[in-house]
Amino acid sequence: MLKLSRLMTALCGAMMLSSGPAIASEDELAQLKKQLELLQQKVHKMEREQAREKAQAKADKKAQQTAPAKPSIKVGGAVRTNLSHTSYDDDNKNRGGDFDFDIFRLNFSGNVGGFGLNAEIRFFDYMTAVKYAYLHYDFAKDWQAQVGMTKVPFGNWPYNSHNYFFNTTYYIGLEDDHDMGVLFKRKVADNWQLDLGFFKNDELGGVDGYVEDRSDRYSYDIVGFRKAGDGVYDDPTQPLGEYNTFAGRYAYHFKHKGGTTEVGVSGLSGGLHDGTDSAGDYMAWAIHLNGNYGPWNLQLQHGEYEYDVDTPATRMAVGAYAFFDSIAAEATMSNANLAYSLPVKFGPITGLQFYNDYGIIYDKSDDSEDTWMNVTGVSLSAGAFFTYIDYVLAKNQPFVGGSIAGNSDETERRFNINIGYYF
């Protein structure tokens, strides 16, 4: 543009000088005039193109500012195997224990259309189950909304335990439970946090969900109630499903030397449906403490739960991990867990956590014996590998030779090593 302008200036000067007869002939002046006109056309064309380019760049910049971020999804997962030696399985004892495949799982996280995404699917030998799958959005500075199969806020978070088997609360659906609904989470700010959720039904669609087997799930949920004469592990003849459940969890964090201590209260209340009509309701509450004191972690929790069925029942049917089990319709629960974390440099091992988790369920409505479980163990971190080594003592405890609705006086034992590779 600058060169063209200078040329035009020179040509104009030449035309002015051409008024003298000794400088240029009329033909030469005509030719110079024609060249000047061509140059002017080129300049105007270049100016129009430059204007269009500026307008397009401005539009592109505005579109980039207003357009949603491109989808970005990360995929991870784990492969886990399990070695166990038990007191309650004679065949297992005769073989000196069993080494089995545990799970293969995939995790998805990222953003889609301005929303966050989190999901996990687990593949077992005997079933496939989605643990959670939800969209989330930060709609205010300290608040996030989650919609989909999300976690029910209750008790010590995220787990009321440190070991591979969780605690007794998991097997009554009050630890690491996920249902279909919406959850509003207030992040820890001003030392307090709040979780409020509404769950339309359980993760398999409730009593009439379109699933082949209502026991193919990760989380324990009510699937029916037991009548007199029903076996502990029978398929439920009187199906039920949770619906319209409200749940809330409040926690306050005290800062102190060496860490923080969280104290809080949880509660939930919902209905039970038999597929045709309302068939009762249920509720649960708990108070909890989760304290970090240097390398030590202390968890305490106490509460109660109750299922009130219109047809009187003292025992409920639950489903998970491809089989049905039973729990008392009403009971009290208490837990006490202690852990010690130790960073190390021992070959590939970079961290150890020693723990003892204890839980008990008592004052049961079906007059069955107490359920209790004590897990003493250590977890090892080594790069992409994470391992639990657990020694379990338990009575009337699922996966340790019993049922929460059992009446055994025997204390069962299980030595367990779970090895996981995470990617």
Beta strands of 294-367 (E only): which ranges?
A: 296-309, 315-320, 323-328, 330-346, 349-362
CB 255: neighbour CB atoms within 10 A? 9
Q: Residue 353's pLDDT is what? A: 98
* pTM across the whole model: 0.83
Domain with CATH 2.40.160.10 in the chain: 75-422
- Strand order, beta sheet including 238-239: 238-239, 221-225, 315-320, 323-328
Q: Residue 259's pLDDT is what? A: 95
The CA distance from 402 to 389, in Å, is 21
Q: Residue 19's pLDDT is what? A: 46
Q: Residue 40's pLDDT is what? A: 73
Q: Residue 326's pLDDT is what? A: 98
Dihedral of CA atoms 181, 182, 187, 189 in degrees, nearest 10, equals -120
Q: Residue 219's pLDDT is what? A: 97
Q: Residue 198's pLDDT is what? A: 98
Q: Residue 63's pLDDT is what? A: 56
Dihedral of CA atoms 364, 248, 336, 317 in degrees, nearest 10, equals 30
Q: Residue 54's pLDDT is what? A: 74
Say which CATH architecture domain 75-422 belongs to: Beta Barrel (2.40)
Q: Which residues of the chain have pLDDT under 50?
A: 1-4, 7, 10-12, 14-22
Q: Residue 27's pLDDT is what? A: 74
